[in-house]
Structure 1
């Protein structure tokens, strides 16, 4: 029996493996993809971090180079793969190409069923698959009649595929604004959202906002659980608001309905639109836990700060607003990982902790 199995080798799973090693365990990490980098290789091409490199590292390994730069997607992928290699050298086992099909409870913990037919037993389990695999696709009035293209930001890669088209980006968060801004160089773009976009300067008083977060302790503020967490503001280096003011893209209240190849706006005007990009967020990607009864009907886990309320040996990582405002970010998941691993270790029989430390010797 494995003392601790971690499902997912993205930033959350790797942070969990680091915490498990420091707790004296030798964790087994299962990753469905062929690379230990989570969802990062599948994000859109131009994605850059909202936080500088010095504030974006996982525990125990800093980003190379200028700490004030904002790493782009491919840098993060390389960093995570390097981090996974360091964990492997320290004793963690990371299996790629290992997709989990389901998890069932046993008297001693859990059985993890892989889609290739294998099964593994574990005393403790951490679900660290994040949410990228489960994009939120809200029902749009009239979408069954719409003849244009509807896609989610999870499927967006580069603006060239929509060049010269009339595009509506639905959302008011960082991804919505970044994608709309990028598309506006090639297409006519409108941001549609139920509430206005809330911008905050990315570098107030000449320092990145995350410097002030660290100084004031904002990133570590405890949060009360909420079924509807607050929307994050858009970090603006100055160009996004300028683009709106200069008319390179515009923002409108959410449209009322779709009809044929048209969008009907809230004021009753109708307009032909070629494509709609839904930057409407994600939901926890935890369907493999359905057999356990550990999830609410909404698909969200039943938990308190990442520790399951239904199964003592089960933990969660990578949930938005799990414990603090930075819970599902590179800069914040390490703290959550330590908390969850400590909580699970406290519930493990001492013999399993000792066996985990010896496994592989």
Structure 2
């Protein structure tokens, strides 16, 4: 494990999921380069993770969740994901195990469970990071907290009158508790489609989407999505027509489980309802649908509340940053963002995409910040 000076490090990475580990890999490489004489002094660093165990958000996903791509195209830098021997693509548990092995393989300095409470500007430069286990100081912060802890939970009319159970994607673990029950699944993205497909064999599922579901072509997987996202970002940077990117193709990747449920006629989506009732939901035309459970597959937002003391400028709902390849705060030049989607690099919220974003971020840290 790279040596740190107590709780004072050059670079503090907040978040020990796939983005934080990828950053750790490249920060570790700087130390290897230093040891071999190929570079100057390498920064000390530490990674703070709120989870009690390694595995990132993947350890909290439902059992049947599967990746968009085969294992061979779903790896972090330096170490290929082991082959998946089950049906379809790798499961969430397979990914979590891979991340545990990855962290151990590179002996990354992850401290857990540590919950970051606030990041503040330090007198004289750098940052002070307050946690539930003490204070850290650093010259640089790489924020890689993802979005799992900040689900978007709608409150439509009648929410306080609904007598059944409501949960978000973040609370779903599998179909067993819902067998034989009337379940409304809300959301026209990948989570909504996968959870509706997961429940369809055992529950009475009503899938509700704001717009008709748009499936990507069956042969499009995560590898193709990364290529499309990369071309779009490069075109935008060059001022060329970008073709709409992934969104122009559709919203739902037809992984094997979703494809099978769709082809069997089990994913017949209904339009968004107007309100909740004590016993279910009411559609725009007044029709009542019974529901014991409503699962909101309505997405997440970046987990950034601990950065509020920095008073960051926002653009389109996210902190304003320099242009790619590295997303550095325009207000606080020692603060970098990693792994939140295309604004942090093409497909940077995915296993296949975060490696390139982490490489560029660490290069910017090493090359433009005085350590």
TM class by shorter-chain length? Answer: 0.7 to 0.9
- How many residues align? The count is 337
- 2:65 aligns with 47
- 2:335 aligns with 314
* Aligned positions of 1:264-275 closer than 5 A: 264-275=282-293
* Aligned positions of 1:269-308 closer than 5 A: 269-294=287-312, 296=314, 300-304=318-322, 305=324, 306-308=327-329
Q: Per-residue displacement from partner, 1:263-296 (whole Å, max 9, x unpaired)?
A: 1112321122111100011000111111111263
Q: Structure 1 residues 156 and 61 mapped into 2: Cα distance closer, same or farther (>3 Å)? A: same
Q: Per-residue displacement from partner, 1:225-247 (whole Å, max 9, x unpaired)?
A: 9xxx9596212146635634644
Q: Distance in 2 between matches of 1:58 and 1:239?
A: 25
Q: Distance in 1 between matches of 2:256 and 2:26?
A: 38
* Aligned positions of 1:67-82 closer than 5 A: 70-82=89-101
C-alpha contact (below 8 Å) 2:222/2:352 kept by paired residues? no
TM-score, normalised by the number of residues in structure 2: 0.84
- 2:128 aligns with 111
Q: Distance in 2 between matches of 1:80 and 1:54?
A: 15
Q: Distance in 2 between matches of 1:294 and 1:201?
A: 40
C-alpha contact (below 8 Å) 1:190/1:252 kept by paired residues? yes
Which of 62, 65, 72 is residue 83 of structure 2 equivalent to?
A: 65
Once the two structures are overlaid, the 10-residue window that deviates more, 316-325 or 118-127, is: 316-325
Q: Distance in 1 between matches of 2:255 and 2:137?
A: 48
Q: Distance in 2 between matches of 1:163 and 1:316?
A: 41
C-alpha contact (below 8 Å) 1:26/1:93 kept by paired residues? no
DSSP 3-state at the match of 2:47: strand
Q: Structure 1 residues 66 and 33 mapped into 2: Cα distance closer, same or farther (>3 Å)? A: closer
Q: Per-residue displacement from partner, 1:145-202 (whole Å, max 9, x unpaired)?
A: 2112111010000111111111111101111111001111111111111111111234
- 1:133 aligns with 149
Which of 150, 160, 179 is residue 144 of structure 1 equivalent to?
A: 160
Please, what is the CA RMSD of the aligned residues? 2.5
Q: Structure 1 residues 298 and 275 mapped into 2: Cα distance closer, same or farther (>3 Å)? A: farther
* Aligned positions of 1:77-96 closer than 5 A: 77-88=96-107, 92-96=108-112
DSSP 3-state at the match of 2:349: coil
Gap runs ≥5 in structure 2: 1-7, 31-41, 238-245
* C-alpha displacement of 1:321: 2.0
C-alpha contact (below 8 Å) 2:14/2:143 kept by paired residues? yes
- 1:5 aligns with 12
Q: Distance in 1 between matches of 2:192 and 2:360?
A: 32
- 1:191 aligns with 207
